[in-house]
Amino acid sequence: MSDYVEIAVFLVFFVIFVAVGFLAKNFRKGNLNQLPEWALGGRRLGTFLVWFLVGADLYTAYTFIAVPSSMYAVGSIYFFAVPYVSLAFAIAMITMPKLWTLSKKNGYVTAGDFVSDRFNSNALAMIIALTGIVAELPYIALQIVGMRAILTGMLTPLGGNVNLASNIALVLAIIVLIAFTYTSGLRGTSLTAVMKDIIIFTTVIVVIVTVFVAYHSALHEAFTIKPVYADLPPKFYNAYWTLFIMSAAALYLYPHAINGSLSSMSAQKLRLSTALLPIYGIGLAFLALFGVIIYGVPAAYHMLNITYHNNGAMVVPTLIASVTPSWFTGFAFLGIFIGGLVPAAIMSMSQATLLTRNVIRYLGRELEEKRETFIAKLSMVFFQLLALAFVFIVPETYSISLQLIGGIIILQTLPAVFLGMYVKHLEKYAVVSGWLAGIVSGIYFEVYSNFVYFKYNIIKTTLMPSSMGFIFVGFTALLINLVVVAVVEVIVYALHRQPKTMPENI
């Protein structure tokens, strides 16, 4: 009976979530046939809405499923997710208000718009746009992996063909998400992000308090069972700092983070919302520990091993179901489930906007405003369905690698976007050369590490061996990128050709 209570609570709040998504089109009304209105909310979101919206990209399925799962399966190295968010917000405070100001002044909707103007090159802007589109795909797929884990945790007690039932429910949920995102645009995702984060904050607080009251020695017992979790092996020292520094550098290069930032009402409000974002990091620290705490909660640990065959993706759903009543479990599961839906919507919208503004338009297709927005909406549908198909072929155990692979790719846009805003003399040929070197080396090191060094039959790590221990592939690839950029700049000077300076409007 309790299982049906859990599902009933989940469904009731899901209906409310969907209603909010559809009704949001009337929030601060604008012409949703205009791309800035649909994709950026008309740039009219205030401090707290931007805080919730950008925060929605932190408390995602990545946070609830992938990080605790990796902590559980591998150990302390995956605690890198905690310091990385603090550094990411510092980077955002430096870069995003400036990009917002330039975007407002020049009518930019994407980072590709900025790159095109800054380097006077539609080709370079197209490269950056396509890089962002590809980098988002594994990130969206990761959200869907988390959503499927929640459905599995909720439907397993009912018996029957759980995989089939959860996959059907997942597809239906994605269709509903597509429908209200198509209708309401960023307004829908921003208001549903508020609901999502309220549920998730409540869940984190309740679970942590419950565990430490009912199982006050849970952490002690967990670290006794798994003492390796209390320390970081020396061979992972460099992996740890390269992971958190590069993840921080990557976060605000992702198109969805830029979209969220550009939706702000003003640069000042964006600064304030960014200053408040470290609050999310507090909850993230506790969430990462869920992968350790489960060892100190016997019922949860037993269920994870017996019912779910030690599937790391089920750590958080199992812990929640073991320590909270059924009605609250349904409430919490809904929060995590829509914690995948909301970011997936933002990400697919940002992909669609890049494709429309910086690929289709630059291929010579002049589009009237209404048609441009229509194509962006159709593209959003395509990217959502593509990510859904992608997730069915990726093992859940290695889900965190999805996000990190996206990070390796998106880091190669750093010279064009971040350096482009601040370095006066920067040649587009140097940026393209660096991008190419970074992408090629990143792919090479990924293939070498997984198929040659570790001899895996699938990509499940983003760490590469070196004389200094393991290092995040993204760090090496970006370093090569930056070195190539610098070398090409020197060559330009050596040939007595003055690199083009930054345009006056930048």
**Residue 398: per-residue pLDDT:** 56
pLDDT at 58 over 80: no
Average pLDDT, integer, range 68-84:
86
245-285 pLDDT tens trace: 999 999 999 999 999 999 999 999 999 999 998 888 888 88
User: What pTM did the predictor assign?
Assistant: 0.92
pLDDT at 501 over 80: no
pLDDT at 400 over 70: no
Reference 333, options 207, 216, 172; nearest CA is: 207
Please name the residues in contact with 335: beta carbons below 8 A apart, sequence gap of 6 or more. 196, 199, 200, 202, 203
Three-state secondary-structure class, residue 504: coil
pLDDT at 6 over 80: yes
**Burial classification of residue 454, based on how many CB atoms lie within 10 Å of its CB (0-12 exposed, 13-18 middle, 19 or more buried):** middle
pLDDT at 206 over 90: yes
Q: Which helix (H) or strand (E) holds 357?
A: none
Give the rounded distance of the alpha carbon of 35 from its chain centre. 22
Q: Are 251 and 31 in contact (CB under 8 A)?
A: no
**Residue 1: per-residue pLDDT:** 43
pLDDT at 197 over 80: yes
Spatial distance between the Cα atoms of 477 and 460, rounded to a whole number of angstroms: 18
HSE toward the beta carbon, residue 61, CA cutoff 13 A: 29
**Phi/psi-derived region of residue 41, left when phi > 0, alpha when psi is between -120 and 50, beta in every other case:** left
**Residue 60: per-residue pLDDT:** 76
DSSP code string of 178-237: HHHHHHHTHHHHHHHHHHHHHHHHHHHHHHHHHHHHHTTTHHHHHHHH-GGGGS--GGGH
CA dist list (Å): 92 to 2, 113, 301: 44, 19, 39
Average pLDDT, integer, range 225-247:
89
pLDDT band at 363 (very low <50, low <70, confident <90, very high): confident
Q: Are 318 and 153 in contact (CB under 8 A)?
A: yes
Reference 78, options 365, 462, 500; nearest CA is: 462
Spatial distance between the Cα atoms of 96 and 458, rounded to a whole number of angstroms: 36
Q: Are 117 and 108 in contact (CB under 8 A)?
A: yes
pLDDT, the chain, mean = 89
Average pLDDT, integer, range 277-297:
86
Which region among 69-78, 375-384, 440-449 has the lowest average model confidence (pLDDT)? 69-78
Phi, psi of 56, deg, nearest 5: -60, -25
Average pLDDT, integer, range 203-216:
87
pLDDT band at 67 (very low <50, low <70, confident <90, very high): confident
Spatial distance between the Cα atoms of 393 and 396, rounded to a whole number of angstroms: 9
Rounded to 5, what percent of the chain is helix, strand, coil?
A: 80, 0, 20
**Residue 492: per-residue pLDDT:** 86
| Alpha helices by DSSP H, 2-80 | 2-23, 35-40, 47-55, 61, 67-73
pLDDT band at 397 (very low <50, low <70, confident <90, very high): low
452-496 pLDDT tens trace: 999 988 788 899 999 889 999 999 999 999 999 999 999 988 886
pLDDT at 2 over 60: no
pLDDT at 118 over 50: yes
Percent of the chain at pLDDT above 90? Answer: 55
Amino acid code (one letter) for 125: A
Average pLDDT, integer, range 55-64:
72
Give the rounded distance of the alpha carbon of 397 from its chain centre. 18
